[in-house]
């Protein structure tokens, strides 16, 4: 028999509640994975066959950890195993088994994002449409959003209200037909096609309802509409559905996550047993007290109050710095102090709201020679940053074929690979007149950029490129990802103001040279044991003894789009702050600035409202150092 002695009362209650619907509201650091794996082992102990147990989560890492921890609790001689997988992996297994019902054979392939966009581009060209207007990335994003809301092209066909929508539906219809012809699915299809197949084939649905009589769903607050439908169908017969989650950690609504799925679980499934895991094993008491005080300001939530038996620990350190350079320097110097005390670099995390904020920290870690590691792409290696720098380089050196190749179709201009090959081979005259016009317009654009750069600062040139090339307009149509890319370009414009003291042409060349130096091969950046830099979204599920939450200013965190935010947006931003605080075990550092260079302009900063939601007796105020501060970009490179 499995030993439940090392579970607390709430965890034990969740493990023992095996019949009917169960909602486990699991606070941060409350041992939810441990609870799920013990529950699976307990079910098997009580006679449930392992093959009748299903546990679904979101990431391969989470599924792998859950699978291993469950197997460690089970006897080694069991003849079958529970199904523990991600949503997508689970659906692939079903589709392999019943491929014929969705028009494929069992050897179907799965397209990645680039494959899917390539197919859409092929269709756009086949329809004779203008590639710039019908950019594959935008079309794919629209199709993906519709699919994750449970809709297909047939649902939209009778509800079109413009020529754009009519053409979009035609592209989507052809896209689905070609996926069938080529025996392939895109990533979104894996869920929507599984749900459609189960809905249309009752005998298959019966098979899976009878097979999986006990179902577990991890991170239920992150489920979207189609995932909700899948679980609802599978659990309909036996109702032995156990979902685990925390509405206070819903931070992915922009990806389609629906907080209402967990908030309405009790009304969806009458007689639900609700169990709250509120004992936090991760953080000090002061951190937990601060987190509770912040999240209680939200209205859209289920009642839950974290507590811990851990010591009070240190107070939260709040530092208000002059500007973003001082902010980065403060964090790096505090990291050095921790490292001198024996703290491992990997035990420290710098968390920011938006990717563009990493730039000043990367430069400061390099200046002080402190190892760091970015989760995600480094600032000067980000695609959109490299694109804009390539525009500047190509404007000064049109013979730079590498740069020309990179940007000639960014944003999309309908200039394909064959055209580029002929252009580079000196065969432009052999191209159709329409294509020659496009190429000439591109080179004329580069000429305009160079003429502008000859009489303006680099920051102004970057903004000129954004507007004149159509890049800004294009990025604004790409949703959250496009806005983030636009922020990164504007941050490049901000840092470029450091060259305003130089001659215009010299300033542009200095920017290009320094970006190459900072974005290239400093060994410190790739150290495995470096201080971690990442967005708060990327930190979900991770924990660190020491956490810095930076940029706590109105408009940055909480973030706003075009100076506006709804009540729901503000609550999600607060949940994001709650997630950030609860990543920390030992100490939290908060930083904000009095002014900040944003989008090429120095602006007065307003402190984030979240700072004032933390009890003042938990705050330790930092007095700004006067020594060691850097004033110029050059110092970062050549100190």
Note whether 66 and 60 are within 8 A (CB).
no
- 253 in a labelled binding site: no
Cβ-count burial 384-411 (b if 16+ within 10 Å, e if not): bbbbbbbbbbbbbeeeeeebbbbbbbbb
Read off the tokens for 445. Answer: 């654009």
Note whether 347 and 546 are within 8 A (CB).
yes
Note if 596 is an active site residue. no
- 31 in a labelled binding site: yes
Note if 32 is an active site residue. yes
| CB neighbour list of residue 121: distance below 8 Å, 6 or more residues apart | 131, 136
Read off the tokens for 224. Answer: 């979207």
Marked catalytic residue, from 35, 213, 223, 249: 249
- 28 in a labelled binding site: yes
Local structure of residue 103 (DSSP, 8 states) = T
Marked catalytic residue, from 135, 188, 193, 218: 218
Strand locations in 150-259 (E) = 184-185, 214-217, 241-245
What length does the chain have?
A: 639
**What three-state secondary structure class fits 15?**
helix
Marked catalytic residue, from 33, 51, 448, 468: 33
* Phi, then psi, of 242 in degrees rounded to 5: -115, 115
- 250 in a labelled binding site: no
| CB neighbour list of residue 558: distance below 8 Å, 6 or more residues apart | 565, 569, 570, 573, 574, 577, 608, 609, 610
Note whether 316 and 343 are within 8 A (CB).
no
- 328 in a labelled binding site: no
Marked catalytic residue, from 367, 540, 583, 587: 583
- CB-side exposure of 180: number of CA atoms within 13 Å? 11
Note if 387 is an active site residue. no
CA 634 to the chain's CA centroid? 32
- 600 in a labelled binding site: no
- 30 in a labelled binding site: yes
d(CA 143, CA 141): 6
Q: Are strands 372-374 and 619-621 parallel, antiparallel or unpaired?
A: unpaired
The per-type count for the chain, helices as H runs and strands as E runs, is 28, 17
CA 449 to the chain's CA centroid? 33
For the beta carbon of residue 139, count every other beta carbon within 10 angstroms. 21
d(CA 478, CA 368): 37
Note whether 43 and 204 are within 8 A (CB).
no
CA dihedral over 490, 325, 338, 588, signed as positive or negative: negative
Note if 218 is an active site residue. yes
Note whether 558 and 288 are within 8 A (CB).
no
Note whether 55 and 306 are within 8 A (CB).
no
- 33 in a labelled binding site: yes
Note whether 596 and 605 are within 8 A (CB).
yes
SS (H, E, C) 144-199: HHHHHCCCCHHHHHCCCCCHHHHHHHHHHHHHHHHHHHCCEECCCHHHHHHHHHHH
Note if 249 is an active site residue. yes
* Phi, then psi, of 43 in degrees rounded to 5: -60, -45
Read off the tokens for 294. Answer: 């912040």
Note if 12 is an active site residue. no
| CB neighbour list of residue 532: distance below 8 Å, 6 or more residues apart | 346, 348, 349, 350, 372, 373, 374, 375, 544
| CB neighbour list of residue 123: distance below 8 Å, 6 or more residues apart | 171, 174, 175, 178
d(CA 142, CA 537): 22
d(CA 545, CA 77): 39
**What three-state secondary structure class fits 528?**
coil
Binding residues for ATP: 26-33
What residues are annotated to the active site?
32-33, 218-219, 249, 583
Binding residues: 26-33
């Amino acid at each position: 028999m499995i030993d439940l002695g090392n579970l607390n009362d709430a965890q034990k209650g969740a493990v023992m509640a095996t019949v009917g619907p169960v909602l486990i509201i699991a606070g941060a650091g409350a041992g939810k994975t441990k609870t799920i794996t013990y529950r699976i082992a307990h079910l098997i102990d009580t006679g449930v066959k392992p093959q009748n147990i299903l546990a679904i989560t979101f990431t391969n890492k989470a599924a792998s950890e859950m699978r291993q921890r469950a197997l460690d609790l089970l006897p080694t001689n069991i003849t079958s195993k529970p199904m523990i997988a991600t949503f997508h992996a689970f659906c692939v297994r079903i589709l392999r088994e019943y491929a014929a019902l969705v028009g494929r054979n069992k050897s179907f392939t799965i397209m990645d994002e680039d494959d899917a966009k390539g197919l859409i581009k092929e269709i756009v060209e086949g329809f004779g449409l203008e590639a710039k207007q019908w950019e594959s990335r935008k079309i794919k994003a629209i199709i993906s959003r519709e699919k994750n809301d449970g809709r297909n092209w047939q649902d939209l066909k009778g509800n079109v209200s413009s020529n754009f929508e009519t053409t979009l539906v035609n592209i989507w219809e052809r896209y689905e037909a070609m996926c069938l012809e080529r025996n392939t699915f895109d990533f979104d299809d894996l869920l929507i096609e599984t749900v459609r197949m189960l809905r249309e084939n009752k005998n298959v649905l019966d098979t899976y309802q009878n097979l999986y009589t006990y179902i577990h769903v991890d991170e239920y607050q992150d489920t979207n509409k189609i995932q909700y439908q899948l679980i609802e169908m599978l659990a309909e017969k036996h109702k032995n559905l156990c979902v685990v989650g925390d509405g206070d950690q819903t931070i992915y609504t922009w990806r389609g996550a629906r907080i209402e799925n967990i908030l309405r679980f009790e009304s969806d499934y009458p007689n639900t047993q609700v169990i709250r895991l509120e004992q936090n094993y991760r953080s000090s008491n002061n951190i937990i007290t601060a987190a509770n005080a912040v999240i209680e300001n939200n209205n859209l939530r289920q009642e839950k109050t974290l507590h811990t038996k851990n010591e009070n620990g240190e107070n939260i350190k709040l530092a208000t710095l002059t500007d973003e350079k001082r902010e980065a320097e403060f964090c790096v110097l505090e990291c050095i102090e921790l490292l001198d005390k024996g703290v491992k670099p990997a035990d420290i995390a710098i968390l920011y709201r938006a990717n563009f904020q990493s730039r000043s920290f990367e430069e400061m870690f390099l200046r002080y020679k402190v190892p760091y590691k970015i989760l995600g792409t480094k600032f000067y290696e980000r695609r959109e940053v490299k694109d804009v720098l390539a525009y500047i380089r190509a404007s000064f050196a049109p013979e730079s074929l590498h740069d020309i190749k990179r940007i000639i179709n960014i944003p999309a201009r309908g200039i394909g690979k064959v055209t580029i090959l002929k252009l580079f081979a000196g065969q432009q005259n052999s191209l159709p007149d329409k294509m020659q016009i496009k190429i000439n317009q591109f080179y004329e654009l580069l000429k305009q950029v160079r003429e502008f750069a000859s009489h303006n600062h680099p920051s102004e040139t970057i903004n000129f490129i954004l507007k004149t090339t159509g890049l800004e307009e294009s990025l604004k149509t790409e949703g959250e990802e496009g806005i983030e890319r636009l922020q990164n370009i504007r941050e490049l414009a901000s840092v470029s103001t450091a060259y305003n003291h130089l001659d215009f042409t010299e300033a542009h060349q200095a920017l290009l040279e320094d970006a190459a130096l900072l974005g290239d091969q400093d060994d410190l950046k790739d150290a495995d044991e470096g201080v971690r830099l990442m967005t708060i979204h990327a930190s979900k599920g991770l924990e660190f003894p020491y956490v810095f939450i930076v940029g706590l200013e109105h408009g940055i965190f909480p973030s706003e789009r075009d100076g506006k935010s709804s009540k729901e947006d503000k609550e999600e931003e607060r949940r994001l702050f709650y997630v950030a605080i609860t990543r920390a075990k030992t100490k939290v550092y908060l930083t904000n600035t009095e002014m900040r260079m944003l989008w090429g302009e120095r602006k007065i900063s307003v402190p984030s409202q979240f700072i004032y939601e933390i009890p003042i007796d938990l705050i330790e105020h930092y007095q700004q150092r006067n020594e060691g501060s850097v004033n110029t970009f050059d110092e970062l490179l050549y100190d």
